[in-house]
Chains A and B, each alone.
Chain A
Amino acid sequence: MYHLIKKDILMQKRALKLSVLLIIFFTITLSNIGPAGLTVGVLAITYQLVLGASALEDKNNSDIILISLPVKRATIVLSKYVSIYIYAAYAAIGFYLIYFIVNLLNLPLDIPF
């Protein structure tokens, strides 16, 4: 399972770079709707990554490779669900990191969370 999740992350090298930009973008745009902004931001990033992983899987028809390997189908499906939490954790940490940096540099940005 660990390897399946690792594979999903490895595959999304480009999407992850994009997500950093998105986190910065959301920090700025969503900061004025209050704490709800964090929730929306985390949700959006998670959604982007989950969808991205599934789209790549779909594009290459790689499910055929996965189910040909000695792994249980249930494990493959479960790993997709678990990966959602990992993306969410990543997004949350990302937002807090930006918040931390903004505070540290005393940028004139009002972040409520």
Chain B
Amino acid sequence: MNNMMEITNLSKSFKDFSLKGVNITLEKGYIMGFIGPNGSGKSTTIKLIMNLIKKDSGEIKIFGIDNESNNISIKERIGFVYNENHFYEELTVKEMKEVISPFYCRWDERIFNKYAKDFELPINKEIKHLSKGMKMKFSLAIALSHHAELLIMDEPTSGLDPLIRSELLEILQSLLQDENKSIFFSTHITSDLDKIADFITLINNGEIILSKTKDELLEEHCIVKGSKKQLTTNDPLNFIGLKQNDFGFEALCKDKKEVIKQYGNSVIIEKPTLEDIMVFYTRRSDHHVSSY
């Protein structure tokens, strides 16, 4: 069993939004970044993985077993961090920990205390008085204290300062020193993933646009910039998120080699970031935002 998580043809419809045939595979020992704009279906997918809502069709296998029929045993082995604080604000950190810990058979007080010390968690403070970063760290400490094999994080970094974000990434990397653990990390702050993610899955409008290793993604894609004249002579179908104005065009292209072959040095070819890839794939080329 080398797949930590396997999602096949997952669908879920709401009145105004639907998730259409989502396929994601996460291997053991790696970290997958799950990116997409707001409202693209990231949280819905995570809710389905965590079995918080019922799917319409498809299959979700975690640790090789179905997540609905093995709900309890799977959750024993999952650590979760959500983007908002869902803890009871009235309780202190210590009380909240005591509420949660008895549910896990494999809860390890020693690990929790270690993280509490490392994160400098104010153990006797009420949760409502914690800063946003502190709440996330507390959430993380809880998620890591029961020997979870799969860590699921739903936009853990939104609203956090860069310092805490980089601390988080460091923690995640040290977690991955154990090659039997995997991390599934949803975010729209792609710079978090530029460095450490192994796999990237991009979702837009409830559909998976791509899912592959970050290295492949960054190596095969390129940003092309050139004059409009060049555009008319060549096939623009290859371009993703083509945008043109009076001065020229820019677009993302899936096949860097082909672009070099076709255009040579006549256009500017740039290395994209994950953010570029997300923006180009998800924007509508005919859509212009203007100010009044």
Contact = CB atoms under 8 A, between A and B. Distances in A.
B63 interface: no
Nearest to B78: A68
A70 B76 contact: yes
A60 interface: yes
Interface stretch (B83-91, B115-123, B241-249, B283-291): B83-91
Interface of A: 3, 6-7, 10-11, 13-14, 56, 59-62, 64-65, 67-72
B212 to A, nearest CB: 29
Contacts of B71: 70, 72
B144 to A, nearest CB: 15
Given A70-B76, A71-B72, A3 B88 contact: no
B104 A13 contact: no
Contacts, number: 57
Given A10-B91, A11-B91, A64-B52, A69 B100 contact: yes
Interface size class, chain B: 20 to 34
B99 interface: yes
Contacts of B103: 3, 69-71
B75 interface: yes
Given A10-B91, A71-B103, A60 B52 contact: no
Given A6-B99, A10-B95, A64-B82, A70 B88 contact: no
